[in-house]
Amino acid sequence: MAALSKEQKERYRRQISVVGEDGQVKIGQTRLLIAGAGGLGSTAALFAAMAGFGTIRIIDPDCIEETNLNRQLLYREADIGRPKAVTAAKALLAMNSSIDVEPVTAAIGTVPAMDLIGKIDIVIDGLDNYPARFLLADAAWKCGIPFIHGAVEGFYGQVSTIVPTTSPCLRCIIPNPPPPRETPIIGVTTGMIGCVQITEAIKLATGNGVPISDHLWLWDGIRQKSDRLRIERIHACHICGKDGQVPKEERIR
């Protein structure tokens, strides 16, 4: 295993005492795809850069708007109108110039998913709609890449770490997603959930702890409570089930 440089040992000194030198090397060798550079994605990307993940590929089709500034912590007022992915990359490199950041200004679905997750070790879900989530999560599952799902609304958030081929896939966890709409959201929620997602990524990269796998973790900021809901894999699921594809119309609602 590669050794840490003198500079890296100093930079990461406080967390090497948590994850060990081996753990820090593993974080540095881990390549993340951060899908979405909004509230979740910008929080996740910032903490990933600070932790020293070696490569961060970040994709988002949008430009920064004034209404993003209540939660999207990589952006400043002067950035309004600029593309998110490129602006995020600059902010991440300003935080940590020793990592590689690859901005992609495109929407999920317009770039072949297999290209997007090529040479990636972990996908972080910072998307704002389920059609895009399913597209990317299905591709990640097929490639054997963990997909750390996160979603938010108001003071509520959820996380699940989907690890092929042991845990249920996103379609088993959320078979009935809500329709796309402008979600009410406050910055503390995206901050909270984005940090939990990178906590999961650090655990997967270093082999520490137990991921939120086979469970959906739900955070309730209003009552300051969190719960883990156990989720079972569906044998008939066409993504992760052992029984293969079952047409949707045969499922019972």
Partner 1 sequence: MKVHVKAFATFREVMDNEVDMDFPKSATVRTLLAELTGRFGGLGELMFTAPDTLRDFVNILKNGRNIYFLAGMDTPLDDGDVIALFPPVAGG
Distance CA 223, CA 122 (A): 31
Cβ closest to partner 1, residue 11 vs residue 177: 177
Distance CA 158, CA 226 (A): 9
Residues that bind partner 1 (CB under 8 A): 36, 38-41, 125-130, 150-154, 156-158, 172, 174-181, 183, 185, 190, 216, 218, 220, 222-223, 225, 227, 229-232, 234, 236, 251-253
Cβ closest to partner 1, residue 135 vs residue 236: 236
Distance CA 200, CA 209 (A): 9
Minimum distance from CB of 140 to partner 1 (Å)? 16
Minimum distance from CB of 143 to partner 1 (Å)? 22
Cβ closest to partner 1, residue 14 vs residue 181: 181
Minimum distance from CB of 111 to partner 1 (Å)? 18
Burial bucket for residue 151 (CB in 10 Å: 0-12, 13-18, 19+): buried
In Å, the largest CA–CA distance within the chain is 60
Minimum distance from CB of 19 to partner 1 (Å)? 27
Cβ neighbours of residue 193 closer than 8 Å, sequence gap 6 or more:
40, 43, 150, 151, 152, 157, 158, 159, 219
Cβ closest to partner 1, residue 41 vs residue 146: 41
Strands 31-35 and 55-59: parallel
Cβ closest to partner 1, residue 54 vs residue 157: 157
Minimum distance from CB of 219 to partner 1 (Å)? 10
